[in-house]
Amino acid sequence: MKGKFYGIGVGPGDPELITLKAINILHEIDMIVSPEARANKGSFAYEIAAPHLPENLEELTLVFPMIHDRDELEKKWKENAEIIAGEINKGKDVAFLTLGDPCVYSTYMYIVPHLQKLGVEIETIPGITSFCSVAAKMNLPLATWEETFGIVPLREGCESAEKALDSFDNVVIMKPSHDNALLAEKLEERGLADKFVMISKCSTEEQIVTRDINDLKGEKVPYLSTIIVKRKGF
Amino acid sequence: MKGKFYGIGVGPGDPELITLKAINILHEIDMIVSPEARANKGSFAYEIAAPHLPENLEELTLVFPMIHDRDELEKKWKENAEIIAGEINKGKDVAFLTLGDPCVYSTYMYIVPHLQKLGVEIETIPGITSFCSVAAKMNLPLATWEETFGIVPLREGCESAEKALDSFDNVVIMKPSHDNALLAEKLEERGLADKFVMISKCSTEEQIVTRDINDLKGEKVPYLSTIIVKRKGF
């Protein structure tokens, strides 16, 4: 009998911010896949899940390169999906770990279509997103009443972020380090320099919180940072 | 010594979709507050948490009326905050349960400012949002690559929803029952009639999934429904 594939959100960093469902599944599966950006570079998702993993669980580390060539990526995902499907066809239940939530900007979602084509049964277990974690740390609503909120990954040029800042009440900007200095300018242009908060490495021991626009202009914005902008202020 | 106040997200409905952190706190607190829309109407958040509550936990049911008069509401929140602060000042750790995530359209966030004014120490524990749960059920990304996504609560007139549909790649529309027939029209106008999915009562036994625009036009859209629109299709 074929096994099943689980995509598991492990949450934003604190090993306690994982769901009971995820923990229960991690105790029932036969194999865990942990994605690495480069071979032997380790995986943050794996570190978060580690305290919940039973001993002697079979591990499969697959490299999901962070490159821009879409064709190369598709090829790599298909290859990885075939490796996973091979294990599932042997009867193993396999879990793929993903930081935060599997449906929000995760590598997991790129292999799902390939696995579906291969006839693999899939179940996705939601996780705590970085933006919910950040908002909770600050005791800050992402939205109340009739407010709208948008989620935008920052890319060079900040166009999507600008569009969001101009049309939504509250905006979550992910990965601000991609063009943080320009983003700081865009916030200043809109009179929003004092209406944002940035949290880096949220819910880990290295967490940093700042509302200083100069920090956003600087060169030391960590990759794992999230910004919440509230147009009406805090 | 004064106690502490916890705002706890219990997730979208499945009692397993609660975090380990929430469960651990529920075992350490002295009192639980469960919000009701009307006296003795019960609370869905409480039902979700029930399997995780220790026996003999002290319970405080507070009525948070669903009315539109903002002044009346503020008065009620302040009153409720004072009742909670009174218990905390007796040295009790008190938890407030909230459906989904406490930072996303929750009643919890309306009492936080009142409790802060009263000098209460507050910790918010994030939860799985309905939209992450819906997307996971469908094995569907909310966003990939450079896609943006917006979250909009539907109000009569659909203006915010229209704005979001015109500026974001993917849009989550919450509480579509507020004006579902008009929303269906707005989707049709934009050629999006086959680019949405609606899930009602997600991750409960009564879950309904539909992609049929006629279901959205009908009179039987449940209150606990969520729509995901993907402009590029599924």
Domain ranges of chain A: 5-125, 130-230
pLDDT at A177 over 80: yes
Residue A40: which pLDDT band, with cuts at 50, 70 and 90?
Answer: low
Cβ–Cβ gap B126/A103 under 8 Å: no
Which residues of chain B neighbour A110 with C-beta distances below 8 Å?
144
Contact status of B16 with chain A (Cβ, < 8 Å): yes
* Burial classification of residue A186, based on how many CB atoms lie within 10 Å of its CB (0-12 exposed, 13-18 middle, 19 or more buried): middle
pLDDT at B84 over 90: yes
0.90 exceeded by pTM: yes
Which pLDDT score is estimated for A42? 67
Write down the CATH number for the domain with range B130-230. Answer: 3.30.950.10
Which pLDDT score is estimated for A41? 61
Which residues of chain A neighbour B20 with C-beta distances below 8 Å?
15-20, 23
pLDDT at B3 over 90: yes
Count of residues for chain B? 234
Cβ–Cβ gap A143/B126 under 8 Å: no
The mean pLDDT of A102-119, rounded to a whole number, is 94
Nearest residue of A to residue B137, measured between CA atoms = A124
Contact status of A16 with chain B (Cβ, < 8 Å): yes
The mean pLDDT of A55-82, rounded to a whole number, is 89
Report d(CA A68, CA B141) in Å as an integer.
20
Which residues of chain B neighbour A168 with C-beta distances below 8 Å?
150, 164
Contact status of B160 with chain A (Cβ, < 8 Å): yes
Q: What is the DSSP string of A70-134?
A: HHHHHHHHHHHHHHHHHHHHTT--EEEEESB-TTBS-THHHHHHHHHHTT--EEEE----HHHHH
Which residues of chain A neighbour B125 with C-beta distances below 8 Å?
136
Of B17, B139, B164, the CB nearest to A19: B17
Cβ–Cβ gap B126/A128 under 8 Å: yes
Shortest distance between the Cα of B53 and any Cα of chain A, in A, equals 14
Which residues of chain A neighbour B18 with C-beta distances below 8 Å?
19-20
pLDDT at B205 over 80: yes
B23-63: per-residue pLDDT in tens? 999 999 999 997 777 655 668 888 999 999 998 899 998 88
Of A21, A125, A148, the CB nearest to B151: A148
Of A21, A103, A123, the CB nearest to B140: A103
Report d(CA A132, CA B101) in Å as an integer.
7
Q: Which two tokens stand for residue A30?
A: 């036969």
Which residues of chain A neighbour B102 with C-beta distances below 8 Å?
136
Q: Which two tokens stand for residue B67?
A: 């009315």
Collapsing DSSP to helix, strand or coil, A1 comes out as coil
Nearest residue of A to residue B146, measured between CA atoms = A153
Which residues of chain A neighbour B141 with C-beta distances below 8 Å?
103-104, 106, 109
Shortest distance between the Cα of B8 and any Cα of chain A, in A, equals 10
Report d(CA B61, CA B34) in Å as an integer.
5
Which pLDDT score is estimated for B206? 87
Nearest to A155, CA basis, from B162, B172, B143, B229: B143
Report d(CA A145, CA B178) in Å as an integer.
13
> Looking at A22-26, A78-82, B29-33, B104-108, which range is the least confident one?
B104-108
Contact status of B125 with chain A (Cβ, < 8 Å): yes
Q: Which of residues 34-93 of A touch B (CB under 8 A)?
A: none
Contact status of B167 with chain A (Cβ, < 8 Å): yes
Report d(CA B52, CA B44) in Å as an integer.
14
pLDDT at A121 over 80: yes
Strand order in the sheet with A149-153: A208-210, A196-200, A225-230, A170-174, A149-153, B149-153, B170-174, B225-230, B196-200, B208-210
> Looking at A21-35, A39-53, B198-212, which range is the least confident one?
A39-53
Q: Is A56 left (phi over 0), alpha (psi -120 to 50) or beta?
A: left
Residue B141: which pLDDT band, with cuts at 50, 70 and 90?
Answer: very high
Residue A178: which pLDDT band, with cuts at 50, 70 and 90?
Answer: very high
A58-63 vs A31-36, strand pairing mode: parallel
Contact status of B137 with chain A (Cβ, < 8 Å): yes
pLDDT at A86 over 90: yes
Shortest distance between the Cα of B166 and any Cα of chain A, in A, equals 10
Shortest distance between the Cα of A85 and any Cα of chain B, in A, equals 17
Compute φ and ψ for A222, nearest 5 degrees: -65, 155
Which pLDDT score is estimated for B224? 84
Which run of H or of E encompasses B82? helix B70-89
Which pLDDT score is estimated for A107? 86
Which pLDDT score is estimated for A122? 98
Which pLDDT score is estimated for A43? 81
Contact status of B33 with chain A (Cβ, < 8 Å): no
Q: Across chain A, where does the E strand assignment appear?
A: 5-9, 31-36, 58-63, 94-98, 122-125, 149-153, 170-174, 196-200, 208-210, 225-230
Please report the ipTM that was assigned to this predicted complex.
0.92
Q: Which CATH number fits domain B5-125: 1.10.3720.10, 3.40.50.1980, 3.30.70.100, 3.40.1010.10?
A: 3.40.1010.10
Nearest residue of B to residue A151, measured between CA atoms = B149
Cβ–Cβ gap B19/A19 under 8 Å: yes
Which pLDDT score is estimated for B94? 97
